[in-house]
Amino acid sequence: MEPPEGGGVRKKPKGAAASPAVASTGDDTLGEIFLRLPDTATLARAALACKRWRRVASDPALLLRFHSLHRSPPLLGFIMSGPPPRAFSYKGPDRLFLAAPSSNPHLNAAAAAADFYFEDFAAKNPRSGSVIDEWLLRGYDSGRLLLTYGFIEHEELAVYDPIARTTDLVCRPDIMQFDFEFVNVHYALLVDEADASSQVVGAQFWNGRIRAAIFSSRTDMAEHGGLSLVASKEQLLQLWVRDNNGGWVIQKQVSLLKQFGLLKKLRQDEWMKRVRILAVRDGHVYMEFWSIRKPNSYLLVLNWETMKLSVFANDTNDKYRGPAFPFFMTWAPPLLSPAKLQGLRLQGDLFRRNGNTCYVSK
């Protein structure tokens, strides 16, 4: 091959860009590229490339658009736990995280790096002096774990993100305390994915009476509508909705054994015959197929619209019959700073993180 004119190697002109073409892409174009990524795990990994990519990927307007295009966050796996401790027990239940099979390396990396056993959380929030001397998992919603420490009136609460490893300690009003009538406190966690705010619902029951409180990280209470229930009777799955008169009617039902030959075979070969529903989200029902005779089980994900069923084997040697939760990688919290999180609310709805607001009903 003949050399270029002049007899030497052609040099780059002064001022020519030495970086790849993507470096010269404007922020708007880069944001459009991010919107076309397949899921939140891939977006989170892209945001780690450099400061500029993190800034563009963390923009609240982009995240809102990303959320509208990716309504169903990816499933990372299932958190299983043993039965909750009995009153005055000295040991918390064992836990197990079962990762969902995925061909996406970013999802696998997120599942492997997350603090699902909240060891990092416990190290940063040491406590001592309780009857149960460890943090217990009491609930889950939208990428957050509800943890409690202590017993009766000395109980403490925390909302923990095992991916971002951030914590919100929750106050508990004096109404939720021990007396000889109201002993156990039952908790539920509700997280708003639009701004990562959380509400913790606590209730005590005794002899037909209820004492309840809601602990909120924001100053306003969101209305929740469109109620529906999914129930299982033996292996029959039912979708119940409200009718015009305020009652409940069955809108859809499916026999799992008749619809899916694999489940019928598992019932015959391994005596799997019990179904418990773990969660319902974005048109999918998450269940466990199990037997009282064996510790192993199967995790099921059913798409209500397409009737496609995914089955994951839980080949454990220990029984995990306590609370179990499917864990999803949510879209916004790992990327947002607290300052940007404040401006994320739509329609000028304000969100403040400086302290919890407790709404109490007696």
More confidently predicted of 21 and 141:
141
More confidently predicted of 262 and 206:
262
247-299 per-position pLDDT tens digit? 888 888 899 999 999 999 999 999 998 999 998 888 889 999 999 989 999 99
pLDDT of residue 188: 85
300-348 per-position pLDDT tens digit? 999 988 999 999 999 999 889 888 999 988 754 444 444 444 443 332 2
Among 100-114, 182-196, 213-227, 231-245, where is mean pLDDT lowest? 213-227
User: Could you give the angle at which helices 105-113 and 40-47 cross, rounded to 10 degrees?
Assistant: 80
CATH 1.20.1280 in the chain, residues? 23-69
219-254 per-position pLDDT tens digit? 443 333 346 678 887 789 988 888 888 788 888 889
List the 236-242 sheet strands across, edge first.
228-233, 236-242, 248-255
Mean pLDDT of 117-134: 84
Looking at the domain that runs over 23-69, which CATH code has it been given?
A: 1.20.1280
pLDDT of residue 88: 58
pTM listed for this prediction: 0.72
CA distance 8 to 104: 47
Instruction: Output the average pLDDT for the chain.
Output: 76
